[in-house]
Amino acid sequence: MFDEKKLVSKILGRNKNITDVFFAACGGSLNDLFPVHYFIESESKKLHSMCKPARELVLIDSPRWNDKSITFVLSHSGNTPEAIEAAKIAKNNGSFVIAITNDKNSKLNDSSLYDDLIVYNWGKSVSHKDVPMGIEFRIVNEFLHQTEDDYTKYEDMLSGLNQIDSIIENAKNIQKDSAAKFAQKYRKQPFLYILGSGASTSQAYGFAICSLMEMQWMDCAYINSAEFFHGPFEVLQDDKVFVQCINAGKTRVLDERSRDFIEKYHGQLEVIDANKFGMDKIKDSVVDYFNPFVFYEMGVLYRDELSEKRGHQTDFRQYMGKVDYSYESDIK
Amino acid sequence: MFDEKKLVSKILGRNKNITDVFFAACGGSLNDLFPVHYFIESESKKLHSMCKPARELVLIDSPRWNDKSITFVLSHSGNTPEAIEAAKIAKNNGSFVIAITNDKNSKLNDSSLYDDLIVYNWGKSVSHKDVPMGIEFRIVNEFLHQTEDDYTKYEDMLSGLNQIDSIIENAKNIQKDSAAKFAQKYRKQPFLYILGSGASTSQAYGFAICSLMEMQWMDCAYINSAEFFHGPFEVLQDDKVFVQCINAGKTRVLDERSRDFIEKYHGQLEVIDANKFGMDKIKDSVVDYFNPFVFYEMGVLYRDELSEKRGHQTDFRQYMGKVDYSYESDIK
């Protein structure tokens, strides 16, 4: 069983003066890292954090990526070349590398690539505490608790992590009929906009690029709700379709504002509102960080309903894993 | 005349121990800030940087946003409520606020909102050194030069800033015919993808949300080239249209990889390649940071050509500045 206390002791045992955290992954895995990066930016007084597509992070190779840093490398398959490359560079730079994968027999399980390896299970019966986003939050929450005296949200985070599974079950039950109706109505829609903000900006992004583009071959775009009024809203007319994710917590005002405008000007609007799912069980102080768990699952729900109505299986690919799109590593 | 040396002295005169830089703006102005944020992440050993939509930054209100920070607030009109709000919070937090606007009579010109105000001119005859992106690069380049002993790119950056105007003139001349043909061919295209990476990720984004969505009411999505292979590429078939921005410098490999794949699998592809415009006049050490200048102007060029062929004037709006979309500030 993974133990975040032991891991944090191991990190601090090697270097007590950690200043930076780097998050390296691609696509769906990058979405799982972003909320924890957002958490650090929002809560830590000491840590700097960078979260980028793995290969971009490697090409930048920030001067801060050194032995005073921790690097999270996440690859579900454990074989993503960009993630392997990022782990290699992180190790070369002296960073403490935490590699996270679903497959213990993958390329990422090479002891030269990490300081700690976490292999997680995946499936409907696995708690959200024990999948990558939950694991990362547990590690960083523990780290802040042990290293920053005035960090006060430790217990609230732990309590939230114990609530999130039941909230997600709620969310699926409550939203299922809407998702099915949406899928029926928009199964032939040529193009959709997905809106979200704050910690779940990455889940609006993942809804678009993973659930719809990758798994349904549907064209769509993701927009940060905060940016909607600064350009994107000019496309709004009554033939346009928007999925609006509405967070619980501080950034809710951003999502409500774009929702209200789209309604007023007759956009076709699907609202997914985290506040309807029992998020009040989570403390206000930390509720922001639990929105991404919910919206990841909402992307899955809508994708699955669309799959049914469109006759397009979610695991059907034309390119991924089927054709060659390898690249020559920049790392010699 | 704006003098970055004086400004940096003023900042350091107030606090020698600057640790953080915050970038606050919306839409097109946010695009102008991102490359400088990227520059700090890539080059600084001491500074941490955060770049977010202004209101999101305000809602997060990071514990690092304090008297050891500098905040850039950019609003072209000087009246964007989210930018004003960010300046207010930054000042409350004790940050050194640099407010940048095109209009000296705007709301942003209120001495309670900034420590330094920069009013820039705008128009075809103004050098790119003297518009927001250039001004910000000059300030941060000067800051790193004065505060980080091993920062070696000072002269290369200054030299690049002296080259960029002529490179952009080149780029416009070289790309004009392609842009006109593109506009003729795709004037009725329902939907486009814009791809870019690295420092000009924000210019791919701006190409989509400002040039096309706002100014042409065209539906489109922006994708980081590094992310293309991790979901988005599954939509690729011969009816899809992609505009691929190709950087000069380190991140070029990311753009070339998606370009090659789109070509191979018969996507309709418009390539804009910074290497064709004389970017070799700029030192390799800093060329990455000059891509955004070029791609901003390419967005403008394609927008203007589309405007001609679509009969849609670039300053025609249905909502912006025409209907009420104000919000009640969260700041009391």
Q: d(Cα B255, Cα A30) in Å, to the nearest integer?
A: 19
User: In this structure, what token pair is assigned to residue B182?
Assistant: 């593109």
* DSSP H helix total and E strand total for chain B: 10, 9
pLDDT score of A326: 87
For chain B, what are the domain ranges? 4-147, 176-310
Task: Give the per-residue pLDDT at A331.
Answer: 63
Do B156 and B287 touch, CB atoms closer than 8 A? no
Contact A227 B190 (CB under 8 A): no
Residue A16 vs residues A93, A146, B258: alpha-carbon distances, Å: 17, 11, 41
| Contacting residues of A for B226, CB less than 8 Å apart | 26, 53-56, 82
Query: Quick one: what percent of chain A has pLDDT higher than 90?
Result: 97
User: Tokens 């609202």 sit at which residue?
Assistant: A271
Burial of A19 (0-12, 13-18, 19+ CB in 10 A): middle
Cβ contacts of B48 on chain A, cutoff 8 Å: 48
Helix (H, G, I), strand (E, B) or coil at B207: helix
Q: What is the pLDDT of residue A277?
A: 98
Is it true that B4-147 and B176-310 share their CATH fold?
yes
- Its ipTM equals 0.97
Residue with tokens 């095109």: B102
State pLDDT tens for residues A209-258. 999 999 999 999 999 999 999 999 999 999 999 999 999 999 999 999 99
Which residues are CB-neighbours of B70 under 8 A, at least 6 positions away?
B11, B18, B20, B21, B22, B95, B96, B97, B98, B143
When pLDDT is averaged across residues A98-126 and rounded to a whole number, the result is 97
Q: How far is B256 from A72, CA to CA, in rounded Å?
A: 27
pLDDT of residue B93: 98
**Cβ–Cβ < 8 Å for B54, B82:** yes
Chain A environment of B318 (Cβ under 8 Å):
234, 236
Give residue-wise pLDDT tens across range B53-111: 999 999 999 999 999 999 999 999 999 999 999 999 999 999 999 999 999 999 999 99
The Cα–Cα gap between B287 and B198 comes to 12
Q: What are phi and psi of B240, to 5 degrees?
A: -95, 145
Name chain A contacts of B325, Cβ cutoff 8 Å. 229, 233, 257, 261
Residue of B nearest to A41 (CA): B62
Residue B330: the pLDDT is 63
Q: Which two tokens stand for residue A203?
A: 């889940």
| B226 → chain A, closest CA residue | A53
Contact B251 A59 (CB under 8 A): yes
Integer distance in angstroms from the first to the last C-alpha of chain B?
A: 36
- pLDDT confidence of residue B329: 72
**How close is the nearest chain B Cα to the Cα of A127, in Å?**
25
- DSSP H or E run through A118: strand A116-119
Residues A156-170 have a mean pLDDT of 98
Residues of chain B with pLDDT under 70: 330-332
Kindly list the distances between the CA atom of residue A275 and the CA atoms of A205, A291, B290, in Å, as whole numbers in the listed order: 20, 10, 44
A229: contact with B, CB 8 A cutoff:
yes
Distance from CA of A297 to the nearest CA of B (A): 17
Residue contact A56–B214, C-beta within 8 A: no
Per-residue pLDDT band for A39 (boundaries 50, 70, 90) equals: very high
In 10 A of CB A65, how many CB atoms? 23
CATH of the domain spanning B4-147 = 3.40.50.10490
Which spans in B93-246 are helix H?
A: 132-147, 154-186, 201-206, 215-216
Model confidence at A329: pLDDT above 90: no
Name the CATH code of domain B176-310 (choices 3.40.50.10490, 1.10.760.10, 3.10.310.10, 3.30.9.10): 3.40.50.10490
Cβ of B82 within 8 Å of Cβ of A208? The answer is no
Closest CA to B227 of B196, B204, B203, B250: B196
